[in-house]
Structure 1
Amino acid sequence: MNIQASPDLSIAALSIDSPEGRIVSDVSLALGRGRPLTLLGESGSGKSLVAQAIMGNLPPGLRATGHVVFKGTDLLAETPAQRRRRWGRSISLLPQEPWLALDPTMRVLPQVAEIHRFVKDKDATRSDALAKENLAGVSLAHAEALYPFQMSGGMGQRAAIAMAHAADSELLIADEPTKGLDTALRDSVTARLKREVEAGRLLLTITHDVAVARALGGLIGVMLDGRLIEYAPAEKLLQAPEHAYTKALLAAEPARWERQAPTASGEVVLAGRGLAKRYDGRTLFSDLDITVAAGEIVSVFGPSGCGKTTVGNILLGLIPPDVGTVERKSGMSRLRFQKLYQDPPAAFAPHQTIRKGLTDLVRLHANRWTTVEGLLDRLRLPKTLLDRLPSQVSGGELQRFALLRALLLDPAFLFADEATSRLDPVGQKEVITCLQEIVRETGLAVLLVTHDRDIAENISARVLNLENKGPT
């Protein structure tokens, strides 16, 4: 399909092989100035691998074949050293996991400033000034002195966006740039990406958010099982999709979900009374009451940085409230109060296979491997992924493995922090449906943190709205 007559980036017959076999097959795409390209598709469909093949940072053991021609040069023919010299200069990547990309030992301002200083050769004073502008552009002017561990997931995402903007490369690859962000920030980031296109940069965006693809326009490619199944101008594909998966993807947007009637709840498992928390001189919330009972889902909704995760951490006893009390159902092991982390890599040892981690957990808690196999089927996770490292599966797949890991311990209470932020709409609906079934079957009490108002309102017995109660 010849959509772009003279592309600046041309991908032809790109395939990616692992020792177990081919995982991306015969992908052909084109990208030119003034017309962004967006890849949609479910977790594990190969979208991020295409980006990594362009960058030249595929995971060990994977090999790309075909052609990736950028400005007349076939990148796949370059040496690793030649590819690395392009990073941050002619090609830059906004990574899917800013939690891993940010330096935990550095405050955020110098992390952005060093791009201007050492990549763009600016002096120290000018580098700091430009970094301040980059952070202000993503509403992080108040966070210049923070370390990554002091920021919410959404704030970390925006810090990574500021760093990508600072690089000012010809080609920007944005891998899930809006995951974990509320609607206002998502729209703000999307608008910034559109300005990059208007300024003449090439933009390849990988996202599961149909609203982002719709707003960016240009061209859209849809991937499924390592193949490009549909590729067309945005207006055509979104209005008249041809492939059955594309139709299902558009139909599964959370705004189209049917409202689920709340299930009958049992005893209160966890409650917070009169909670208040200040952070870095700012009040996140005060005089806050929240209860979560057996067999119900309660959602905490609000903009990035407003304290959603803090509420759950206080209930779990991970951090203390400044004011107020927390009451937990008596006679219950602390192991039955579990957290599903917003950043899935936080739940896994990076140099240990997923199988090894789960096997150790099963053995430690006298569980059975058949329980793992049952959850693999329910969460639509192929068994072949078990022998990979956490870095060798997609963000969405790792998020589902993190949910599996938490459910293995038979929790009475689950604090699910952005449990579906890395999943496409079809995957979101599948995982939420699975979680609802487990709630009904076991009486699990769930506190769900989400930036998506539609998800919160459609599945919850109650919604605690922290909107406008804290900074964004």
Structure 2
Amino acid sequence: MTLLQAKDITVTAGAERLLDPVSLDLPAGRAVTVLGESGSGKSLLAQALLGTLPGGLLAGGTLTVGETRLDPARPQGSRALWGRAIAVLPQEPWLALDPLMRGQRQVAEVHDLVAGDPAPDDRASADLAALGLEGAGAKYPWQLSGGMAQRLAFAAARACGARITVADEPTKGLDSDRRDDVLALLRRGLEGGGGLLTITHDLTLAAGLGGEILVMQGGTVVERGSAERVLAAPEHPYTQALIAADPAHWPRPDPMPEAAPLLRAERFTVARDGRTLFAPLDFTLSPGQVLGVAGPSGCGKSSLGNALLGLLPHQGRLWRDPAVPKLAFQKLWQDPPAAFPARITLAEGLDDLLARHRIDPARVAPLLDRLKLAPDLLARRPAAVSGGELQRIALLRALLLDLAFLFADEPTSRLDPVTQALTIRLMVGIGRETGMAMVIVSHDLALLEAICDRVIRLMPG
């Protein structure tokens, strides 16, 4: 039985075609996974199928969901299927969750209003417990770590048991244990006769789901086939580069020579609600050095970096070189959409930064080129830029301030492996050249071990 059939799906912006024709079938009990670089058209394909394309973009082709035939050019017809026939796991949980509603209520509302369940709170509580979110039900999304917010969005999307699931980067920001949990949940849905369309950068997830893989580049499917064949014997050069970009294959960096410290922490920890988040730490960071921080979701990784920047109170001693201005200590946010004004273009935001800090505008173009960003991206608003492109623009914005210290919170969680390799090596290279020290948080231990002078694994306090 075929749950979803898409034929010659395209996306255009006026006379420009952004997505070449893509056809796919989603049989019951099977997975289709779409891999590709940021801006390759993966999310455009998913949005065209769901009827959620941004204004100004037009989908074409034909789409059949179950027995219902839909016209992608008229997306209103797809919306009646949301939650009932199609569950959507969003790429950005912060944008999908209501910041003014507690976690359990968000899941219970789906059970109540969409499924008509007579005991929505009980069902919501069980859903959260199954994802290890027992304590998150009473909290607001902004009180949760990125990984916990992702799992909350997962619980809300899957609350009504739709047979088709469209998952946009479902393991983004999750540690390996939680990623395995999500993989198990997705596979359980397949075993029950569901279908899964996944947009992901996670090669491990793609291998675990099996089924069919489509590899996209520049709005075109450049390779497709069984997951086993594509991942073991890729034929297209881009697919080969995608797989070779695994951090486990990267050469280890040369250690930075010791220098006068920029920052020193002694018996350093952070408490929240009377609870110590992690065991006290001792470390020193010199110019150009990179410190990696790993650990499970909710263990305090982001809180550690925020405390080093003076954004949270801490316990223990923290010394920062008093000769370095406070502005030279900055943060690269885990969720870049939350760090950009939504209603102005990226160029307007950069112009404000340049004017406020009297920065030469001529510095922008070389950084755009070095980060492999098209200048015309700056004419768009944040919502019209892919997650990977937006993260690199956030990095550009930070580098304009001539930093001495950068706290990078999951800086590559939105990047495909090839772009991740490019971006993270660029960050480390700039740090080495300019003497910018970095603390990098990541759930990817292999990535940290490939780029950092030292890696700390946080343990509960």
Letter aligned with residue 444 of structure 2: D
Letter aligned with residue 380 of structure 1: K
Instruction: Report deviation, 1:367.
Output: 1.3
- C-alpha distance in 2 between matches for 1:77 and 1:289: 56
Runs (5+) with no aligned partner, structure 2: none
Aligned counterpart in structure 2 of residue 285 of structure 1, from 264, 278, 283: 278
1:444 is matched with 436
- C-alpha distance in 2 between matches for 1:423 and 1:20: 29
Instruction: Report deviation, 1:80.
Output: 4.2
**Is 1:204 the equivalent of 2:184?**
no
- C-alpha distance in 1 between matches for 2:45 and 2:450: 34
- Asked whether the 8 Å contact 1:340–1:402 carries over to 2, the reply is yes
1:358-377 superposed matches below 5 A:
358-377=350-369
- Asked whether the 8 Å contact 2:7–2:61 carries over to 1, the reply is yes
When residues 103 and 77 of structure 1 are mapped into structure 2, their CA distance, relative to the original with a 3 A threshold, is: closer
Instruction: Report deviation, 1:276.
Output: 2.5
2:229 is matched with 236
When residues 338 and 280 of structure 1 are mapped into structure 2, their CA distance, relative to the original with a 3 A threshold, is: same
- C-alpha distance in 1 between matches for 2:389 and 2:238: 18
2:330 is matched with 338
**Is 1:324 the equivalent of 2:319?**
no
Letter aligned with residue 367 of structure 2: L
1:150 is matched with 143
- C-alpha distance in 1 between matches for 2:26 and 2:323: 60
- Asked whether the 8 Å contact 2:50–2:75 carries over to 1, the reply is no
2:183 is matched with 190
When residues 435 and 265 of structure 1 are mapped into structure 2, their CA distance, relative to the original with a 3 A threshold, is: farther
Instruction: Report deviation, 1:143.
Output: 1.6
- Asked whether the 8 Å contact 1:54–1:75 carries over to 2, the reply is no
TM-score for the superposition, normalised by structure 1? 0.95
- Asked whether the 8 Å contact 2:48–2:72 carries over to 1, the reply is no
When residues 78 and 354 of structure 1 are mapped into structure 2, their CA distance, relative to the original with a 3 A threshold, is: closer
Aligned counterpart in structure 2 of residue 71 of structure 1, from 66, 73, 80: 66
1:384-399 superposed matches below 5 A:
384-399=376-391
**Other structure's SS at 1:14 match:** strand
**Other structure's SS at 2:395 match:** helix
Letter aligned with residue 243 of structure 1: H
- C-alpha distance in 1 between matches for 2:48 and 2:72: 12
- C-alpha distance in 1 between matches for 2:160 and 2:425: 41
When residues 26 and 258 of structure 1 are mapped into structure 2, their CA distance, relative to the original with a 3 A threshold, is: same
**Is 1:469 the equivalent of 2:460?**
yes
- C-alpha distance in 2 between matches for 1:369 and 1:40: 36
What does the per-residue CA deviation read over 1:208-258, in whole Å, with 9 as the maximum and x for residues that have no partner? 010000000011000101111111011111111110000110111112222
- C-alpha distance in 1 between matches for 2:131 and 2:363: 43
1:38 is matched with 33
2:112 is matched with 117
When residues 194 and 21 of structure 1 are mapped into structure 2, their CA distance, relative to the original with a 3 A threshold, is: same
1:3 is matched with none
- C-alpha distance in 1 between matches for 2:342 and 2:10: 26
Q: Select between 285-294 and 94-103 the one with higher mean Cα deviation.
A: 285-294
- C-alpha distance in 1 between matches for 2:351 and 2:68: 46
- C-alpha distance in 1 between matches for 2:405 and 2:303: 16
Instruction: Report deviation, 1:86.
Output: 1.7
Aligned counterpart in structure 1 of residue 88 of structure 2, from 62, 82, 93: 93
**Is 1:11 the equivalent of 2:6?**
yes
2:99 is matched with 104
Aligned counterpart in structure 1 of residue 371 of structure 2, from 374, 379, 382: 379
Instruction: Report deviation, 1:79.
Output: 4.4
Aligned counterpart in structure 1 of residue 19 of structure 2, from 24, 29, 52: 24
What does the per-residue CA deviation read over 1:278-313, in whole Å, with 9 as the maximum and x for residues that have no partner? 334543113222322101111111111111001000
When residues 160 and 87 of structure 1 are mapped into structure 2, their CA distance, relative to the original with a 3 A threshold, is: same
- C-alpha distance in 2 between matches for 1:298 and 1:17: 44
**Is 1:347 the equivalent of 2:342?**
no
What does the per-residue CA deviation read over 1:143-166, in whole Å, with 9 as the maximum and x for residues that have no partner? 211111111111111111111221
Letter aligned with residue 255 of structure 1: A
Aligned CA RMSD, in angstroms, stands at 1.5
1:120-269 superposed matches below 5 A:
120-123=115-118, 126-269=119-262
What does the per-residue CA deviation read over 1:77-107, in whole Å, with 9 as the maximum and x for residues that have no partner? 5744432222212112110000111111111
- Asked whether the 8 Å contact 1:255–1:454 carries over to 2, the reply is yes
Q: Select between 183-192 and 160-169 the one with higher mean Cα deviation.
A: 160-169
Instruction: Report deviation, 1:315.
Output: 0.4
- Asked whether the 8 Å contact 2:87–2:164 carries over to 1, the reply is yes
What does the per-residue CA deviation read over 1:98-150, in whole Å, with 9 as the maximum and x for residues that have no partner? 01111111110111111001111012xx1111111111111111221111111
- Asked whether the 8 Å contact 1:271–1:315 carries over to 2, the reply is no
- Asked whether the 8 Å contact 1:36–1:197 carries over to 2, the reply is yes
**Other structure's SS at 1:189 match:** helix
What does the per-residue CA deviation read over 1:402-452, in whole Å, with 9 as the maximum and x for residues that have no partner? 111111111110000000011111111100110121012100010101111
**Other structure's SS at 2:180 match:** helix
When residues 294 and 54 of structure 1 are mapped into structure 2, their CA distance, relative to the original with a 3 A threshold, is: same
- Asked whether the 8 Å contact 1:275–1:285 carries over to 2, the reply is no
- C-alpha distance in 1 between matches for 2:421 and 2:73: 42
**Other structure's SS at 1:8 match:** strand
When residues 204 and 281 of structure 1 are mapped into structure 2, their CA distance, relative to the original with a 3 A threshold, is: farther
Runs (5+) with no aligned partner, structure 1: 1-5
When residues 69 and 13 of structure 1 are mapped into structure 2, their CA distance, relative to the original with a 3 A threshold, is: same
1:59 is matched with 54
- C-alpha distance in 1 between matches for 2:420 and 2:430: 15
2:452 is matched with 460
**Is 1:411 the equivalent of 2:418?**
no
Instruction: Report deviation, 1:331.
Output: 2.4
Q: Select between 161-170 and 217-226 the one with higher mean Cα deviation.
A: 161-170
- C-alpha distance in 2 between matches for 1:92 and 1:45: 23
When residues 106 and 264 of structure 1 are mapped into structure 2, their CA distance, relative to the original with a 3 A threshold, is: same
What does the per-residue CA deviation read over 1:150-208, in whole Å, with 9 as the maximum and x for residues that have no partner? 11111111111111221311211000000111111111111110001111111101100
Instruction: Report deviation, 1:369.
Output: 2.4
